[in-house]
């Protein structure tokens, strides 16, 4: 194996995980970021994000001298042959992608490059970015060989390490076959199908994949409403659908909709990409709208269950992160739900095993607990917003004895309605009217 010298620019989620992975695969990696405080933390082997398994991998690769951190981006560029761009690409008010961090990195590359480089764009960027960046760099550095390759990242938060070492596919978009093959060789030890494409296709595959997965979620959430009306169980409907290999069983869990740093941002960006070429991507508009409605309808469901009035009611919200195994609250459904419940006069007590530190900066007038029994104490109702394993394992009888009223409104369908009913709870979930009716009939 050829050991490459790689600089990763941007030590956010994608940068840190990718850099650590390339070090683990035996390459010499320097991760660079303008944020000096973050780099100082990383140099002390403190990980600024919550990601199972990352700490151990960072520590072992730093010890083996394959992984280092610096806030001197120029030095990282000068000492490496492959530059991975992994800076943030947030969404602007207009829906367009904010490219200011990418532009800043390109300007830094221009100032510090004196030898040939392959530049790999890992950040999720609009179609055509790779081509434009390559033109810009070649114009600015006419005597130096510069190739720009697109290598999108598909990892999920909370299982990033597993996903990176067990990818379904590795997508590499390149104009020059040599550059593409060199980036493929970096990852040749990884399983998963290698797909070599043109740059534009690689850039679109990332958006198309996230938009399609978001569509699966909004689809099943709409089905859940139909299930409630006709007396069916959305879990069984999803199971039956998923047994068809063309549909597949994944991403068909009905609930309170998707959140996080990727789906909301990437669906809006894909819609804008289509609009910019005069195409009205109707399905995607509906996917986004349904996701927002799902949160509002869930609040209506809570209100209806509690008799229409929330004023003065104490509600224990279990789970704040946008999904389990992360402390990430970006676009978390729980935040919208809490704000809506507060505006209706409810008093909120919240539990999350990982996200309380971030939550305390984002939520006002919420009592926070790292123990779910403390959060449930004297509550008029429990609302489940994130399917944390600690919630699944809770002692339901103890919870019931602590609550003022044994009412659970479950936005993640974590429990069996008949079982919860047997335990004495009024249990309301999403798209499972059949089970509720059956209990009522007993
Ligand atoms: C996602 C993609 O999966 C990943 O490939 C991409 O690189 C980044 O975006 P992530 O945001 O970490 O990853 O989370 P993911 O596990 O995909 O879940 C996204 C959201 O969808 C969560 O809020 C989750 O609760 C929700 N979801 C997921 C559902 O509501 N139902 C499902 O069936 C699956």
Ligand 1, pocket-test mutation among 51, 123, 217, 335, most atoms within 8 A of CB: 217
Is 31 catalytic? The answer is no
Nearest 5°: the CA angle 201, 206, 209 is: 110
pLDDT grade for 83, boundaries at 50, 70 and 90: very high
Q: Are residues 188 and 316 in the same domain?
A: no
Q: Which of 181, 197, 213 is the last residue of a domain?
A: 197
Which whole number is the average pLDDT over 295-314? 97
pLDDT of residue 438: 43
**Residues 210-232 pLDDT 10s:** 999 999 999 999 999 999 999 99
Rounded CA separation 198/339 (Å): 45
Q: Are residues 121 and 255 in the same domain?
A: no
- The answer to whether residue 248 sits within a structural domain is yes
Rounded CA separation 65/75 (Å): 17
Task: Count other C-beta atoms under 10 Å from residue 373's C-beta.
Answer: 15
Q: Are residues 393 and 325 in the same domain?
A: yes
Which residue has the CA at smallest separation from atom 22 of ligand 1? Answer: 258
Rounded CA separation 67/58 (Å): 7
* pLDDT score of 436 more than 60: no
- The answer to whether residue 22 sits within a structural domain is yes
- The answer to whether residue 118 sits within a structural domain is yes
- The answer to whether residue 208 sits within a structural domain is no
**Ligand 1 closest atom vs CA 163:** 5
pLDDT grade for 440, boundaries at 50, 70 and 90: very low
- The answer to whether residue 202 sits within a structural domain is no
Asked whether the beta carbons of 148 and 121 are under 8 A apart, the reply is yes
What is the CATH number for 337? 3.40.50.720
How many domains, in total, are found in the chain?
2
pLDDT grade for 441, boundaries at 50, 70 and 90: very low
- The answer to whether residue 345 sits within a structural domain is yes
387 CA distance to ligand 1 middle (Å): 13
Provide the 3-class DSSP secondary structure of residue 26.
coil
Which whole number is the average pLDDT over 361-389? 98
- The answer to whether residue 215 sits within a structural domain is no
297 CA distance to ligand 1 middle (Å): 20
Give the active site residue among 6, 171, 262, 337: 262
Greatest Cα-to-Cα distance within the chain, rounded to the nearest angstrom: 81
CB 392 near ligand 1, within 6 Å? no
Which residue has the CA at smallest separation from atom 15 of ligand 1? Answer: 156
Q: Which of 143, 172, 197 is the last residue of a domain?
A: 197
Which whole number is the average pLDDT over 137-155? 97
Q: Are residues 34 and 103 in the same domain?
A: yes
Q: Are residues 167 and 301 in the same domain?
A: no
Q: Are residues 154 and 248 in the same domain?
A: no
pLDDT of residue 439: 43
Which whole number is the average pLDDT over 336-350? 98
DSSP 8-state secondary structure symbol assigned to residue 317 = E
Q: Are residues 96 and 157 in the same domain?
A: yes
Provide the 3-class DSSP secondary structure of residue 325.
coil
CB 290 near ligand 1, within 6 Å? no
Buried/exposed 316-352: b ≥16 CB within 10 Å, e otherwise: bbbbbbbbbbbbbbbbbbbbbbbbbbbebebbbbbbb
**Residues 20-32 pLDDT 10s:** 999 999 999 999 9
Asked whether the beta carbons of 390 and 312 are under 8 A apart, the reply is no
Tokens of 407: 């009412």
DSSP 8-state secondary structure symbol assigned to residue 388 = -
CB 251 near ligand 1, within 6 Å? yes
CB 252 near ligand 1, within 6 Å? yes
Ligand 1, pocket-test mutation among 12, 212, 258, most atoms within 8 A of CB: 258
- The answer to whether residue 206 sits within a structural domain is no
258 CA distance to ligand 1 middle (Å): 7
Q: Are residues 52 and 106 in the same domain?
A: yes
Q: Which of 140, 174, 197 is the last residue of a domain?
A: 197
Asked whether the beta carbons of 353 and 318 are under 8 A apart, the reply is no
**Residues 275-288 pLDDT 10s:** 999 999 999 999 99
Q: Are residues 336 and 277 in the same domain?
A: yes
Asked whether the beta carbons of 411 and 436 are under 8 A apart, the reply is no
- CA of 371: how far to CAs of 146, 335, 363, 399, in Å? 54, 19, 18, 12
Give me the residue label for tokens 């043109």: 198
422 CA distance to ligand 1 middle (Å): 32
Ligand 1, pocket-test mutation among 262, 268, 290, 325, most atoms within 8 A of CB: 262
pLDDT of residue 314: 98
Helix (H) or strand (E) holding 269: helix 263-276
Rounded CA separation 221/254 (Å): 5
DSSP 8-state secondary structure symbol assigned to residue 307 = T
Spell out the residues 6+ positions from residue 310 whose beta carbon is closer than 8 angstroms to its own: 302, 303, 341, 344, 345, 346
**Residues 37-50 pLDDT 10s:** 999 999 998 999 88
Which residue has the CA at smallest separation from atom 6 of ligand 1? Answer: 154
Q: Are residues 253 and 385 in the same domain?
A: yes
Strand 366-369 relative to strand 381-384, pairing: unpaired
Task: Count other C-beta atoms under 10 Å from residue 439's C-beta.
Answer: 15
Write down the pTM of the prediction: 0.94
* % of the chain beyond a pLDDT of 90: 94
Q: Are residues 188 and 240 in the same domain?
A: no
Helix (H) or strand (E) holding 173: strand 169-173
Q: How many Cα neighbours within 13 Å face the side chain of 282?
A: 0
Strand 28-32 relative to strand 67-70, pairing: parallel
38 CA distance to ligand 1 middle (Å): 26
Q: Are residues 163 and 245 in the same domain?
A: no
Which residue has the CA at smallest separation from atom 1 of ligand 1? Answer: 156
Rounded CA separation 416/398 (Å): 18
pLDDT of residue 433: 74
Which whole number is the average pLDDT over 185-203? 96
Domain holding 391, by residue range, is 231-441
* pLDDT score of 125 more than 50: yes
CA-nearest of 315, 319, 385 to 352 is 319
């Amino acid at each position: 194996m050829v050991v490459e010298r790689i600089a990763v620019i941007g030590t956010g989620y994608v940068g840190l995980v990718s850099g650590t992975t390339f070090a683990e695969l035996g390459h010499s990696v320097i991760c660079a970021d303008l944020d000096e405080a973050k780099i100082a933390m990383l140099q002390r082997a403190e990980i600024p994000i919550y990601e199972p398994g990352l700490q151990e991998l960072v520590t072992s690769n730093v010890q083996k001298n394959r992984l280092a951190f610096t806030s001197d981006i120029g030095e990282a560029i000068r000492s490496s042959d492959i530059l991975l761009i992994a800076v943030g690409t947030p969404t602007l008010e207009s829906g367009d992608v904010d490219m200011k961090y990418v532009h800043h990195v390109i300007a830094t590359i221009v100032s510090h490059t004196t030898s040939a480089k392959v530049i790999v764009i890992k950040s999720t960027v609009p179609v055509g970015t790779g081509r434009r960046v390559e033109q810009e760099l070649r114009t600015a550095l006419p005597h130096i060989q510069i190739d720009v390759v697109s290598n999108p990242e598909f990892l999920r938060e909370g299982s990033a390490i597993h996903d990176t070492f067990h990818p379904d596919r590795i997508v590499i978009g390149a104009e020059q076959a040599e550059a593409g093959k060199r980036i493929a060789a970096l990852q040749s030890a990884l399983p998963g199908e290698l797909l070599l494409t043109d740059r534009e296709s690689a850039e679109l595959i990332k958006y198309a994949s996230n938009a399609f997965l978001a569509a699966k979620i909004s689809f099943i959430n709409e089905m859940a409403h139909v299930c409630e009306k006709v007396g069916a169980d959305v879990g069984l409907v999803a199971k039956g659908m998923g047994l068809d290999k063309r549909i597949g069983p994944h991403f068909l869990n009905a609930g309170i909709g998707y959140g996080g740093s990727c789906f909301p941002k990437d669906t809006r960006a894909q819609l804008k990409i289509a609009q910019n070429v005069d195409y009205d991507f109707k399905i995607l508009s509906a996917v986004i709208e349904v996701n927002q409605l799902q949160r509002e309808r869930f609040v209506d469901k809570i209100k209806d269950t509690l008799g229409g009035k929330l004023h003065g009611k104490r509600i224990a919200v279990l789970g704040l992160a946008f999904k389990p195994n992360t402390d990430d609250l970006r676009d978390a459904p729980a935040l919208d739900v809490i704000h809506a419940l507060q505006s209706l006069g409810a008093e909120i007590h919240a539990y999350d095993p990982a996200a309380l530190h971030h939550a305390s900066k984002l939520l006002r007038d919420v009592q926070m607990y790292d123990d779910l029994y403390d959060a449930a104490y004297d509550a008029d109702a429990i609302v489940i917003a994130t399917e944390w394993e600690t919630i699944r394992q809770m002692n339901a009888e103890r919870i019931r004895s602590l609550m003022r009223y044994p009412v659970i409104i479950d936005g993640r369908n974590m429990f069996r309605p008949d079982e919860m009913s047997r335990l004495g709870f009024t249990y309301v979930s999403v798209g499972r009217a059949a089970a509720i009716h059956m209990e009522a009939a007993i």
